[in-house]
Structure 1
Amino acid sequence: MTLALAVKNDDLVVEVPEHPPVRLPLAGRDRVGTLLVFGYPGRGRTRYGLAVLDESGLVMMEAPGSRSRREVEAFARENGLQFELRRFATGEEARIALARRSPGWHVVTWGRPPSPLPRLRVPGVRSLWPPMGSPRIWWREQLLYALMWLVLAYGVAFAALVVLNLTDPGRGVTWGMKLLGIAALVLAVVTAVGAAVVVGTGRRRTRRQIADARVLRRRGDPRCRLVAVHSRLLLETERRTREIDASRLTLYSVESGVSGLVVGEKALHLPGRWDPEEVERFAARNGLELEIRRLSREEYLDLTAQVRDAVP
């Protein structure tokens, strides 16, 4: 992610492509204190980023991507800010530090480029039998597979007729083109109906899961959610899904307006806005112990420093 830093009217302005400028105060109680350039080990390579911290060391904004240390350090020195270079030993250590949000925290999102080669899933022999637990999901998958094969068959037939027309123009393949035109209209209608059925079924299923207290969502970006499936607690983020061994939830709020959720015995910190009623229903429905706490600033700093992992 490329971004530009500037100072305008006692504010630190962070300009990010395809995102409104973020203005962070340089004066007042929750003002910018430090520019942090950090790195931590990722999958096969080191990941870098830039974080803006307040005077207590809490994160006001974080943006991934490698940046010039000299340029950031020079900018901080010119504007009376502290500069820090930190290399975290593990990804967990980095996530714990970046999840400690300041009252003036701002989220920065950006559009990721699409994959150059989309993955094509081909159904195997085992997918031909509907599972015992989720037949509705199986039928949706079969519908998607059928549409995929129809599109592939249409593409192969169209390419074959084009090649045949180029190699032997006098053979006359216009009848085939007419049939392909009719097939294209039918395929478009079937695809539209199938997509509407799949999307509608998925949305109804999501709403039903939330109503049944099987899914608990974090409000706003970056998105994550807790899902209860067959007495298992799963955490779903934009990057991965993993199982969590936990029997309690701690919903906290701080005097400054910061809030979040701690899963387990200080095992996982999920900062952000969580609906208290949804959290209460989710805990009661899935047999989880729930504690609601109102923290002071010192208690918040102590709690978020003791967790073992986090999702910023």
Structure 2
Amino acid sequence: MTLALAVEDDDLVVEVPEHPPVRLPLAGPDRVSTLLLFGYPGRGRTRYGLAVLDESGLVMMEAPGSRSRRQVEAFAQENGLGFELRRFATGEEARIALARRSPGWHVVTWRRPPPALPRLRVPGVRSLRPPMGSPKVWWREQLLYGLMWLVLAYGVAFATLVVLNMTAPGRDVTRGMGLLGIAALVLAVVTVIGAAVVVGIGRRRTRRQIADARELQRRGDPHCRLVVVHGRLLLETARRTREIDASRLLLYSAEPGVGGLIVGESLLHLPGHWDPEEVERFAVRNGLELRTRALSREEYLDLTTRVRDAVP
């Protein structure tokens, strides 16, 4: 991500392409204190980024991308800010640190926002397979198998006629081609209708999950939601979906503008705004234990340090 740093009227101004400028205060209780250049191991390569920290070391803004250490350090010294270079040992360690949000936290997005109902990517081949014995599921499977065999049969017949035309030009196979054209038209109509039915079923299923408190979504960016599928608690982010072995939720609030959700016994930290009523319905509907706490800054700092992973 390309960004520019500047100081205007006692504010640190961060300009990002296709994003309104972010203004962070350089004076006051929640002021900018340190510019942090960080790196951590990713999939096949090291990922880098820049974070703006307040006096307590909490993140006010974070932007991914590699930047010149000399330029950032010189900018910090010129404007009386601290500078820190940190290399995290693991991705979990980096996410835990970046998820500790300051009351003056600002989100910076550089990609298109995810759709309102993003596709659910679940690990495992049979993760979303419905319970056996359901008549609706059985008929849907038979319909899909039937369409598959029709498409294969059409392909075999078409290839056979093409080979006959190439090997024996004298034979009259145009009648067969006409029948294949009619079959292709029928298959196209059936495919369009089948696709519309599948999309409609998927949308109704998603709406039903929300109505049945099977889904709990974090407000705002970055995208993050919890989903229960066949008794399995899943966490979906913009990058991946994974299963979580947890039976407890802790909904906390610390300072104005600071809140989040702890999943399990200090297992996973999900900072951000979670609607209390939706969290309660989700917990009751899925048999999860829910606690609600108001934390002091010291308790917040301690709690967010002891977690094992986080989604900033």
- TM-score normalised by the chain length of structure 1: 0.76
Partner of 1:310: 310
Name the stretch that deviates more: 236-245 or 22-31.
22-31
CA contact (8 A) 2:2 2:65 kept: no
Other structure's SS at 1:200 match: helix
Classify 1:149/1:32 alpha carbon distance in 2 versus 1 (closer, same or farther; 3 Å). farther
* Counterparts of residues 1-312 of structure 1 (less than 5 Å): 2-10=1-9, 11-17=11-17, 19-29=18-28, 30-111=30-111, 132=132, 193-312=193-312
Instruction: Please report how far the alpha carbon of residue 307 of structure 1 lies from its aligned counterpart in structure 2 after TM superposition.
Output: 0.9
CA contact (8 A) 1:63 1:108 kept: yes
Other structure's SS at 1:202 match: helix
Instruction: Please report how far the alpha carbon of residue 237 of structure 1 lies from its aligned counterpart in structure 2 after TM superposition.
Output: 1.7
The amino acid across from 1:215 in the alignment is E
Other structure's SS at 2:83 match: strand
CA contact (8 A) 1:38 1:85 kept: yes
CA contact (8 A) 1:24 1:32 kept: no
Segments of structure 1 that go 5 or more residues without pairing to the other structure are 113-123, 156-177
Give CA-to-partner distance per residue, 1:199-247, whole Å, 9 cap, x none.
3322221111122122211111111221223333221222222222222
Name the stretch that deviates more: 187-196 or 217-226.
187-196
Partner of 2:168: none
The amino acid across from 1:242 in the alignment is R
Distance in structure 2 (CA, Å) of the matches to 1:144 and 1:137: 11
CA contact (8 A) 1:32 1:52 kept: yes
CA contact (8 A) 2:19 2:109 kept: no
Give CA-to-partner distance per residue, 1:42-76, whole Å, 9 cap, x none.
22221111111122211111111211111111222
Distance in structure 1 (CA, Å) of the matches to 2:152 and 2:6: 54
Other structure's SS at 2:207 match: helix
Distance in structure 1 (CA, Å) of the matches to 2:131 and 2:231: 19
Classify 1:8/1:84 alpha carbon distance in 2 versus 1 (closer, same or farther; 3 Å). closer
CA contact (8 A) 1:24 1:104 kept: no
Classify 1:251/1:130 alpha carbon distance in 2 versus 1 (closer, same or farther; 3 Å). closer
Aligned residues: 296
- TM-score normalised by the chain length of structure 2: 0.76
Distance in structure 1 (CA, Å) of the matches to 2:74 and 2:197: 56
Classify 1:78/1:182 alpha carbon distance in 2 versus 1 (closer, same or farther; 3 Å). farther
CA contact (8 A) 1:252 1:295 kept: yes
Instruction: Please report how far the alpha carbon of residue 299 of structure 1 lies from its aligned counterpart in structure 2 after TM superposition.
Output: 1.6
The amino acid across from 1:73 in the alignment is E
Partner of 1:161: none
Give CA-to-partner distance per residue, 1:102-151, whole Å, 9 cap, x none.
11212222237xxxxxxxxxxx9x9xx99727776787789889999999
Indicate the RMSD between aligned Cα atoms, in angstroms. Answer: 3.9
Other structure's SS at 2:290 match: strand
The amino acid across from 1:72 in the alignment is V
Distance in structure 2 (CA, Å) of the matches to 1:152 and 1:193: 19
Classify 1:186/1:3 alpha carbon distance in 2 versus 1 (closer, same or farther; 3 Å). farther
